[in-house]
Structure 1
Amino acid sequence: MKWSAGRAARASVVCLLVILCDGFLLSHTAPTPKGTHLPTQLFAVRFKDVNDVYLLIEPLLSARGSVQMQPRLKTLAVTDDEETLKKIEAMIQSYDLPPKNVDVALQLILATTEKQPEKISPRIRGVIEKLNEISTRWSDYRLLGSTTITASEGDKASVEMGEDYRISFAVDYVSDEQRLVRFKRLTLDRRDASRDPEANGETYSRVLDTAFSLKEDKLLVLGATKLESSNRALFMTITASARP
Structure 2
Amino acid sequence: MTTRTRINTDTTDLRRFLFYPRKSVVSAFIRALVVLVATSAFADEALLTKAFVIKFRKVDEVASVVNGLLSEKGAVTMQPRLQTLVVQDYEKNIRQIEMAISAFDVPPPAVEISVKLVRATKNPDVGPIADEIKNMAKLGEVLKYNQYALLDSGLIQCQEGESTVLSLAKEYQLSFLPDVIQEGNGIIRLKNFQLQKRKKDADGKDVFVPLISVTLNLRNEETLVLGASRFEDSNQALMVVLNGKVKK
Same fold by TM-score greater than 0.5: yes
Query: Match of 1:11?
Result: none
Give the aligned length.
213
Report SS of the residue matched to 1:155: coil
Spell out, residue by residue over 1:55-112, the C-alpha distance to the aligned partner (whole angstroms, 9 max, x if none).
5x25852674653322112112345565554343233324434566544321123445
Question: Which of 216, 219, 223 is the equivalent residue of 1:220?
Answer: 223
Query: Match of 2:123?
Result: 115
Query: Match of 2:207?
Result: 202
Report SS of the residue matched to 1:203: strand
Question: Which of 77, 82, 88 is the equivalent residue of 2:97?
Answer: 88
Query: Match of 2:113?
Result: 104
- C-alpha distance in 1 between matches for 2:75 and 2:151: 53
Alignment of 1:161 with 2:164, yes or no, is: no
Report SS of the residue matched to 1:123: helix
- C-alpha distance in 2 between matches for 1:94 and 1:213: 26
Query: Match of 2:18?
Result: none
Alignment of 1:61 with 2:64, yes or no, is: no
Aligned residues of 1:169 and 1:183 also touching (Cα < 8 A): no
**Equivalent position amino acid for 2:76 in 1:** V
**Equivalent position amino acid for 1:170 in 2:** L
How far apart are 1:148 and its partner, in Å? 1.3
Alignment of 1:238 with 2:208, yes or no, is: no
Change (3 A) 1:54 1:233: farther
Report SS of the residue matched to 2:199: coil
- C-alpha distance in 2 between matches for 1:40 and 1:90: 16
RMSD of aligned residue pairs (Cα, Å):
4.3
Query: Match of 2:149?
Result: 142
Q: What residue ranges of structure 2 are gaps of 5+ in the alignment? A: 7-24
- C-alpha distance in 2 between matches for 1:106 and 1:126: 14
How far apart are 1:169 and its partner, in Å? 2.8
Query: Match of 2:195?
Result: 189
Report SS of the residue matched to 1:72: helix
How far apart are 1:126 and its partner, in Å? 2.7
Spell out, residue by residue over 1:21-68, the C-alpha distance to the aligned partner (whole angstroms, 9 max, x if none).
xx89x969945254367644321112333234335x258526746533
How far apart are 1:127 and its partner, in Å? 4.5
- C-alpha distance in 1 between matches for 2:152 and 2:87: 50
Report % sequence identity: 23
Aligned residues of 2:117 and 2:150 also touching (Cα < 8 A): yes
Report SS of the residue matched to 2:82: coil
Question: Which residues of 2 match residues 5-20 of structure 1 at below 5 A?
Answer: none
**Equivalent position amino acid for 1:189 in 2:** L
How far apart are 1:160 and its partner, in Å? 0.9
**Equivalent position amino acid for 2:78 in 1:** M
- C-alpha distance in 2 between matches for 1:224 and 1:83: 57
Query: Match of 2:11?
Result: none
Which structure would you say has the larger Rg? Answer: 2
- C-alpha distance in 1 between matches for 2:229 and 2:197: 16
Aligned residues of 1:186 and 1:209 also touching (Cα < 8 A): yes
- C-alpha distance in 2 between matches for 1:33 and 1:128: 78
